[in-house]
Structure 1
Amino acid sequence: MVVHSKFQSDTVLSYSGSIPYTCYEIGHTWEPGCVKTFFQTFCDAFKFSIRVYTVFYLATFVIKLRKKENRRIKKIKKLLRDILQSSIFLSANGAFFMGGFCMLRNLIGKFYGWHGLLAGFITGILSIQLERKSRRGMLALYLMNLAAETLFNMAVARNLIKPIPYGEVIIFSIASAGFMSLFRQRNGLPENLHSPLTLIVGPEESRDFYRNGGNFSQRWRLISCLPYLQKLLQRLKTVHRSHQSCPHNNSCTYYTLEGIFKQFLLGYGIQILLNALQSLRGKQKWSKVFNNISLASFLAGFIGLFRACNCSLRWLLDRDIPALHGALSGAVAGTTLYFYRSTSIALYFFFKLMEVLYFRGIREGYVPHLPSADQYLYASTLAIILHASCCEPHNIRPGYWKFLCGVSGWKFPVMFRKLFDVFGTKATTLYPNFVPDLDPRYVKTTAVMELLKVHGKWRDPTNF
């Protein structure tokens, strides 16, 4: 049964429309007091955040322990300080949003469709100040990825656009073309991106690579212990000569197959590890741990196509044009995301490419430098995500929605989203039957009283 009233009708309100409910009735339904809600949210969110960042920082710290200078008390103190600072920052996102939610309601007297956007933007501006400057750009880029995906889902839900088949593969191919073109140019990518790509793609195609004879055979020392494989490898090395402009020492066939084989083993090993972790959590049967080769196929296919295309273009044009060959080969190699389709990966690389091009444009004087751009970008993208968390959480990536619930101290799921349905966003999609147990002494709106009575949640105020 649906209750229709002045504020709950078949008329869909726009974002400029308003609803008169109190922040207790629609937002912090577990606690009538706004100030108490703020501190409760922060404390509960901090418990979640400290667990998240302890695991995150410890994992990276263990890797750094290989160097002696990282085994000092000073480094351990910095580790603890970083965990605490990042945990406070993450907790502040949930607490400040609840605080801004209430503050705007008390100042304006109503809720508008844009309420969550403004509260989210204020939250972003304030909370990002608590995080280290070195992490702000990375966080802004990550949220841009999530916000773009959320906006896309919102547009699809409103029938404004239609999904393009294999759209994530197309986006990744575009990003791959840009990255691999820059990779093949001298000083085209910053060191923090160039080094990881070198480990995956190999140093040969990089303009910063200088030939060093004898290094290639060392990579295959383990495999060469097997006589029959050793003979095959030796034959592949000389099956045909490489082009004079090719940077690798052996034949193009050997060079291509080397990359395919290595990356397939790497991808398969990573996939087995991920599957084993899923099995330990009870989310997958142990019998399926070795069955998935999607990541291995993606990595092997990407490296194989990239190397094969570069070599083919050198033979075809009889010379090496690094920027052009890198772009064309990267675009072709990017199609292998078909084997490991992921919108998150595609959007991350696309926006990371935009970031690289932006800073390169600043260095070369093509675009102006915008001070604190990362802070405003973080606040803007957080506003979109937090707005969606109120009005249409079903359009947020499921894994990230679960994370957001933790950041809010598990308060987001208990918002009274039936009252948001008037905006036509299908706010109750994830929680269609949820009706909170509101204290009748603090319920001020007649429509809310009627709705509680219909769902059997209304209690006599005189009994309190």
Structure 2
Amino acid sequence: MAFLSKSAFSSFAKSEPPSPSPQATPPDNNSNNNNISAEDRLREAEDRLREAIEELQRRQRRNRGLHEYAPPCEHADESCIAHAIGNLCQTFLLSYGVRVGIGILLRAFKLARRQSYSSLLDLKQLVSEKDLIVREEACRIGLLFGGFTGSYHLLRCLLRKFRKKETPFNAILAGSVAGLSILALDDPSRRRTLALYLLARLGQCAYNSAKSKNKFHLWGSHWSHGDSLLFALACGQVMYAFVMRPESLPKSYQDFIQKTGPVAKPIYKAVRDSCRGSPIDVVSLSAYLSNSKASSSLKIQEFPSIIPCSMIHPDTSSCLQHNARAASATFRKTFPLYFSLTFVPFVVLRLQKFMDSPARTCWLAVKGAVRSTTFLSSFVGIFQGVICLHRKVAVKDHKLVYWLAGGFASLSVLLEKKARRGELALYVLPRAGDSLWYILVNRHFLPDIKNAEVALFCLCMGGIMYYLEHEPDTMAPFLRGIIRRFLASRITNPPPSANRTASYVYLQNLEAAEKPKLLESSNGTEAPASEKLNLESIPGL
């Protein structure tokens, strides 16, 4: 570095602190002034040295060509295209494996429930296309996640080269464009649900970011059970929609609630017609009740004011017994699902931990599945209990009862861990938002925009990727861990680049050395002059 001025090094020489005397002497004004002037000279020398190194870097880039002005990519050992394709394939295989693994495990539980244990060893029955229809769905999920990851990496590299700089706008634009991979899902309702889920997560990140900067604070966010309150509001909307507006929920979600609960479809339809003041379908309701024990004593009216408990649970006259049976049946039906959702992702995404301690992994999966299944069973029991209690004290039905029943049933979320309650609330919230969106569009309060969920998903992914790379602490640990491991493991954990020069490393070390000084000055504590002016404490000198 021949262009470094001699005055810079002379400043270093002049700023060397005097050796401390063996006898302590009280400081005077002259010594304080000398220390301050020496510190100023040292800071001036550091600034000149930094400017000289930056000038050297600019000359090196100019000599290498214009394309070297772009910040270096983090994958020095492979090209940008190879890096993107590698991430695409890796994420595709991970997501495909998780979906197929869950399907196989659920199929195994189904065979075991039939007590056909020998068929568990028969691959033809276990993984046949006739009984295990997951190939198309697994491929679509793999294309969604893999396509997003690969295109995101490629777009980041292109923006880095064409814009000649690395800014937050690169992450936002790349995430938004890569979000078009949502088109791999052919069901608009699933795309809308996923977009609303990301919208809720983006709102969480934005709020945490504003709160950390003291820019905005939502009233009630410090409540210890604020997540449970949010879950209650979302569950109220979902259960109201299931009873009164089932078409506003995705078909798969309707089927899940219907199979989990103990009440048949004809009963829900009769309740819906009764609340709206419409005539009920006497023929279909009579056909359903004809197989019950109390069918002879039931009198079906065309315009009933309320559907009695004797029709809701015709097999038993005791509401308490009915609710207990409902909770028990829900536990048996949903335990295989929760165990699969807990066990398979852990094995696929954390294979090394599973190989180290398989017994502990199985125990944690069983423990988590039992806890989650107990929560869902209690939800069903409380929901049915509120409906039966209303029929004991009221003579006329109202649609608001089912909203309140969903809210009261959500108290069962207190059985879950504190960290999981917020995740459950943000999982159910998009379902409630999806239902509310459909109802408002159906009533012409909102315009029906085609593919609006695709645009919303793209915008949300742009925001999510910004917070992931620039403000990761604002994201929930669960979501941040999933994205890092499942979607973008190479984005947030880049390897050290091999093409960074010594001057670049020196600048980074010099800036790191200045941070403690700024921290000390902000805290109001002043270090001794011998520590401030010690040239050996500066990296590289």
Fold shared, TM-score > 0.5 on shorter chain: yes
Map of 1:309 onto structure 2: 386
Match 1:196 to one of 215, 231, 256:
256
1:199 to 1:113, Cα distance in 2 relative to 1, 3 A = same
Following the alignment from structure 1 to structure 2, what is the Cα–Cα distance between the partners of residues 49 and 37? Answer: 18
Match 1:182 to one of 235, 241, 244:
241
* 1:299 maps onto 2:356 in alignment: no
Q: 2:508 corresponds to which letter in structure 1?
A: L
Map of 1:451 onto structure 2: 508
Q: Match of 2:473, SS?
A: helix
1:346 to 1:37, Cα distance in 2 relative to 1, 3 A = same
CA-CA distance at 1:98 after TM superposition: 2.6
Q: Deviations over 1:208-260 (max 9, x none)?
A: 5836348678xxxxxxxxxxxxxxxxxxxxxxxxx972232222222222223
Following the alignment from structure 2 to structure 1, what is the Cα–Cα distance between the partners of residues 164 and 258? Answer: 57
* 1:326 maps onto 2:402 in alignment: yes
Map of 2:308 onto structure 1: 245
- Structure with bigger gyration radius: 2
CA-CA distance at 1:378 after TM superposition: 1.0
1:80 to 1:169, Cα distance in 2 relative to 1, 3 A = closer
Match 1:256 to one of 323, 326, 329:
323
Match 1:206 to one of 258, 264, 268:
268
Q: Match of 2:489, SS?
A: coil
Q: Deviations over 1:53-103 (max 9, x none)?
A: 14414644897999xxxx998999x96566555434423322322333233
1:314 to 1:63, Cα distance in 2 relative to 1, 3 A = same
Match 1:367 to one of 446, 466, 469:
446
Match 1:412 to one of 491, 503, 510:
491
* 1:167 maps onto 2:226 in alignment: yes
Map of 2:154 onto structure 1: 99
Following the alignment from structure 1 to structure 2, what is the Cα–Cα distance between the partners of residues 87 and 296? Answer: 28
1:407 to 1:154, Cα distance in 2 relative to 1, 3 A = same
Following the alignment from structure 2 to structure 1, what is the Cα–Cα distance between the partners of residues 454 and 177? Answer: 11
Is 2:236–2:406's contact at 8 Å kept on the other side of the alignment? yes
CA-CA distance at 1:386 after TM superposition: 1.0
**Count of matched residue pairs:** 384
Following the alignment from structure 1 to structure 2, what is the Cα–Cα distance between the partners of residues 39 and 303? Answer: 50
Map of 1:401 onto structure 2: 480
Q: 1:307 corresponds to which letter in structure 2?
A: Q
After superposing the two structures, state which structure 1 stretch, 155-164 or 312-321, moved more. 155-164
Following the alignment from structure 1 to structure 2, what is the Cα–Cα distance between the partners of residues 121 and 354? Answer: 22
Q: 1:311 corresponds to which letter in structure 2?
A: C
Match 2:426 to one of 326, 347, 350:
347
Following the alignment from structure 1 to structure 2, what is the Cα–Cα distance between the partners of residues 43 and 269? Answer: 34
Map of 1:143 onto structure 2: 198
Following the alignment from structure 2 to structure 1, what is the Cα–Cα distance between the partners of residues 440 and 500? Answer: 59
Q: 1:199 corresponds to which letter in structure 2?
A: K
Following the alignment from structure 1 to structure 2, what is the Cα–Cα distance between the partners of residues 131 and 216? Answer: 42
* 1:380 maps onto 2:429 in alignment: no
1:216 to 1:147, Cα distance in 2 relative to 1, 3 A = farther
1:400 to 1:49, Cα distance in 2 relative to 1, 3 A = farther
1:414 to 1:310, Cα distance in 2 relative to 1, 3 A = closer
CA-CA distance at 1:170 after TM superposition: 0.9
Q: Match of 1:128, SS?
A: helix
Map of 2:496 onto structure 1: 436
Q: Deviations over 1:370-415 (max 9, x none)?
A: 1221111111111111112211223333343344334566322334
Following the alignment from structure 1 to structure 2, what is the Cα–Cα distance between the partners of residues 24 and 106? Answer: 7
Map of 2:278 onto structure 1: none
1:124 to 1:244, Cα distance in 2 relative to 1, 3 A = closer
Is 1:267–1:296's contact at 8 Å kept on the other side of the alignment? yes
Following the alignment from structure 2 to structure 1, what is the Cα–Cα distance between the partners of residues 487 and 335? Answer: 36
Q: Deviations over 1:290-342 (max 9, x none)?
A: 76653244223322221221122222222222x11101111111122111242
Map of 1:52 onto structure 2: 95
Normalised by the length of structure 2, the TM-score is 0.59
1:286 to 1:39, Cα distance in 2 relative to 1, 3 A = closer
Match 2:182 to one of 111, 120, 128:
128
Following the alignment from structure 2 to structure 1, what is the Cα–Cα distance between the partners of residues 422 and 69? Answer: 38
Following the alignment from structure 1 to structure 2, what is the Cα–Cα distance between the partners of residues 60 and 208? Answer: 35
* 1:41 maps onto 2:120 in alignment: no
Is 2:70–2:165's contact at 8 Å kept on the other side of the alignment? no
CA-CA distance at 1:163 after TM superposition: 3.7
1:23 to 1:202, Cα distance in 2 relative to 1, 3 A = farther
CA-CA distance at 1:174 after TM superposition: 0.8
Following the alignment from structure 2 to structure 1, what is the Cα–Cα distance between the partners of residues 384 and 98? Answer: 37
CA-CA distance at 1:184 after TM superposition: 2.4
Following the alignment from structure 1 to structure 2, what is the Cα–Cα distance between the partners of residues 452 and 306? Answer: 61
Q: Match of 1:184, SS?
A: helix
Give structure 2 stretches of 5+ with no counterpart.
1-45, 52-67, 111-126, 272-284, 294-305, 348-352, 513-541
Q: 2:479 corresponds to which letter in structure 1?
A: Y
Following the alignment from structure 2 to structure 1, what is the Cα–Cα distance between the partners of residues 381 and 438? Answer: 30
RMSD: 4.3
Map of 1:338 onto structure 2: 414
Following the alignment from structure 2 to structure 1, what is the Cα–Cα distance between the partners of residues 222 and 318? Answer: 43
Q: Which has the higher helix share?
A: 2
Is 2:200–2:426's contact at 8 Å kept on the other side of the alignment? yes
Match 2:437 to one of 350, 358, 373:
358
Following the alignment from structure 1 to structure 2, what is the Cα–Cα distance between the partners of residues 206 and 380? Answer: 38
1:50 to 1:259, Cα distance in 2 relative to 1, 3 A = same
Is 1:187–1:208's contact at 8 Å kept on the other side of the alignment? no
1:110 to 1:409, Cα distance in 2 relative to 1, 3 A = closer
